[in-house]
Structure 1
Amino acid sequence: MTDEPIIEFKHVSKTYQNGTLGLKDINLSIPKGQFLVVVGLSGAGKSTLMRTINRMHDISTGDIRVDGESIVHLKGKELRGLRRSIGMIFQNFNLVKRSSVQRNVLSGRVGYYSTWKSTLGLFSKEDKQKAIEALQRVGLGEKLYSRADELSGGQQQRVAIARAFMQDPKIVLADEPIASLDPLTTESVMDDLKRLNEEFHITVIVNLHSVSLAKRFADRIIGLRDGELVYDEPISKVTEKDLEAIYQPVSIVKKSEVQA
């Protein structure tokens, strides 16, 4: 990990069309190679924050910079280039269930091919070998020709990680990647993400509800509440009391502040 930022939020706010406030004046700098965990209650803005980085959500005000370049007005080829460099891992795996594991993993390379080639599955021999290696990396080399819907939930999520790796990403975003998994499978998926981070120096940002996993895997933890950044500390300074406070309802937090 270096001190050089790969992602910068500068006074970023997001208001949805129905008036709901998603983010409020976020200022945040994320160094290259960091494993960042975002915690907070449901609806705190965790997914919104993450999805502004790859422009799945546009912001209302402020600026977001990736590798020093503002991304808020990117269009066409430039926007596709941004998204190609950012792997996304979803809670529901987001696989094509009736397709083979190989085809799902190779879909991580579609940003490098013309539309007609990717549609017809005309991937290079090198990329097919790369898919095998990506699956071996997450312990699923023997599942290459299986259909995605034949796999367990944990296996499907590891296929999704292999697919993200195929993009040669500089950033991986994982939005509640373990929410539907059992404890043993959770460990495997988090270990895979940590390995991507440590072995390949990929910046990883993960939304989690589990405080124990956040403390175990993160280099740094930030907390959101009602769209605001309310906590930001390196893991060496994170305390159990701090994390408990992030998950308290706003009314309780405000009451404790008045009593103090």
Structure 2
Amino acid sequence: MMMKVGNILIEFKHVSKIYPNGARGLKDIHLHIDKGEFVVIVGLSGAGKSTLLRSINRLHMITEGEIIVNQKSITRAKGKELYEIRRDIGMIFQNFNLVRRSSVMRNVLSGRVGYHSTLRMVLGLFPNRDKELALEALERVGLREKAYVRADQLSGGQQQRVSIARALAQEANIILADEPVASLDPLTTRQVMDDLARINQELHITMVVNLHSVELAKEYATRIIGLRDGEVVFDGAVSEATDEVFEQIYTKEDKKHAKMRVAE
């Protein structure tokens, strides 16, 4: 994609990841993601999607190269600087990563922990502004009326939308979503993806999302990055993602299976 000077939010500089057993998870990744993009990463299981995504907030350590976030090296950052970089990056997990016995409100407020002392958070002393942010976030995903319901009383789709609200309450300018709809049925899949797309468009929050489904990638992304065996084999606009391109990412059988995930 064309580089937008001064608008780069995330940059990979020759990034590689080698596991202790010698397997190479990422191979010389060099790319940038601009502010406001909705980037979908596609590829087979084991292609390196999660490793790439989780290296952005350093949940996975890289072996070689450097990752720049908001013009700061998260690769080299330590202590307070690392803490502050991560505070700007929200994370949505496949399994929701909620405290199921806690209320929806408390789960959303956990997105504010990066702004306060540990003692204050242990005691649950959230200021009124945090509570207002949490309620606004829940309103945006259509769950304000569930604020004081326990998280384990919600459906899977609702729980995932609570995790989106948590990232919003965090006031993150980047949201990473690692297979956010993999455990959801087709209807709730659409609802969650619609929420992410609307947040991207209305709040200009940069989205980086891992998906198995080719059809969802085509429908929601502004840009698709295809990985195979830890290497970028495609990086471009949705309009450029032809059937021939997907043949580079998937075998024919794999591609058919990816399409069927939405149709089921």
Indicate the TM-score class for this superposition, using the shorter chain for normalisation: over 0.9
Equivalent position of 2:219 in the other structure:
216
2:111 is paired with a residue whose SS is helix
Equivalent in 69, 83, 86 of residue 86 of structure 2:
83
Q: Does 2:18 align with 1:15?
A: yes
- TM-score normalized with structure 2 length: 0.92
Question: Percent identity between the aligned chains?
Answer: 66
Equivalent position of 1:38 in the other structure:
41
Equivalent position of 1:252 in the other structure:
none
Q: Does 2:135 align with 1:102?
A: no
Equivalent position of 2:237 in the other structure:
234
Point out where structure 1 has 5 or more consecutive residues left out of the alignment.
250-260
**What is the alpha-carbon distance in structure 2 between the residues aligned to residue 83 and residue 228 of structure 1?**
25
Equivalent position of 1:164 in the other structure:
167
Partner deviation per Cα, 1:5-61 (whole Å, 9 max, x = no partner): 101111100011222211000011111110000000000000000111001111111
Letter of the aligned partner of 1:132 in structure 2? L
**What is the alpha-carbon distance in structure 2 between the residues aligned to residue 57 and residue 28 of structure 1?**
18
Q: Does 2:104 align with 1:132?
A: no
- TM-score normalized with structure 1 length: 0.93
**What is the alpha-carbon distance in structure 2 between the residues aligned to residue 25 and residue 115 of structure 1?**
38
**How many Å apart are 1:148 and its aligned residue?**
0.5
Equivalent position of 2:148 in the other structure:
145
RMSD: 1.2
**How many Å apart are 1:201 and its aligned residue?**
0.8
**What is the alpha-carbon distance in structure 2 between the residues aligned to residue 41 and residue 142 of structure 1?**
38
Q: Which portions of structure 1, spanning 4 or more consecutive aligned residues, are displaced by more than 3 angstroms?
A: none
1:230 is paired with a residue whose SS is strand
**What is the alpha-carbon distance in structure 1 between the residues aligned to residue 42 and residue 102 of structure 2?**
34
Partner deviation per Cα, 1:133-155 (whole Å, 9 max, x = no partner): 11111011110111011100000
Letter of the aligned partner of 2:240 in structure 1? K
Equivalent in 49, 65, 69 of residue 68 of structure 2:
65
2:251 is paired with a residue whose SS is coil
Give the count of matched residue pairs.
Answer: 248
**How many Å apart are 1:129 and its aligned residue?**
1.4
**What is the alpha-carbon distance in structure 2 between the residues aligned to residue 231 and residue 20 of structure 1?**
22
Letter of the aligned partner of 1:207 in structure 2? N
Letter of the aligned partner of 2:194 in structure 1? D
**How many Å apart are 1:247 and its aligned residue?**
1.2
Equivalent in 116, 121, 133 of residue 118 of structure 1:
121
**What is the alpha-carbon distance in structure 2 between the residues aligned to residue 113 and residue 69 of structure 1?**
22
**What is the alpha-carbon distance in structure 2 between the residues aligned to residue 126 and residue 238 of structure 1?**
43
2:181 is paired with a residue whose SS is coil
**What is the alpha-carbon distance in structure 2 between the residues aligned to residue 63 and residue 77 of structure 1?**
19
**What is the alpha-carbon distance in structure 2 between the residues aligned to residue 242 and residue 74 of structure 1?**
36
1:103 is paired with a residue whose SS is helix
Partner deviation per Cα, 1:206-259 (whole Å, 9 max, x = no partner): 00011111000000101001111111111121113322431129xxxxxxxxxx
**What is the alpha-carbon distance in structure 1 between the residues aligned to residue 169 and residue 65 of structure 2?**
32
Letter of the aligned partner of 1:73 in structure 2? R
2:67 is paired with a residue whose SS is strand
**What is the alpha-carbon distance in structure 2 between the residues aligned to residue 212 and residue 244 of structure 1?**
14
**What is the alpha-carbon distance in structure 2 between the residues aligned to residue 245 and residue 69 of structure 1?**
33
Letter of the aligned partner of 1:202 in structure 2? I
**What is the alpha-carbon distance in structure 2 between the residues aligned to residue 158 and residue 213 of structure 1?**
18
Equivalent in 179, 182, 186 of residue 183 of structure 1:
186
Q: Does 2:189 align with 1:193?
A: no
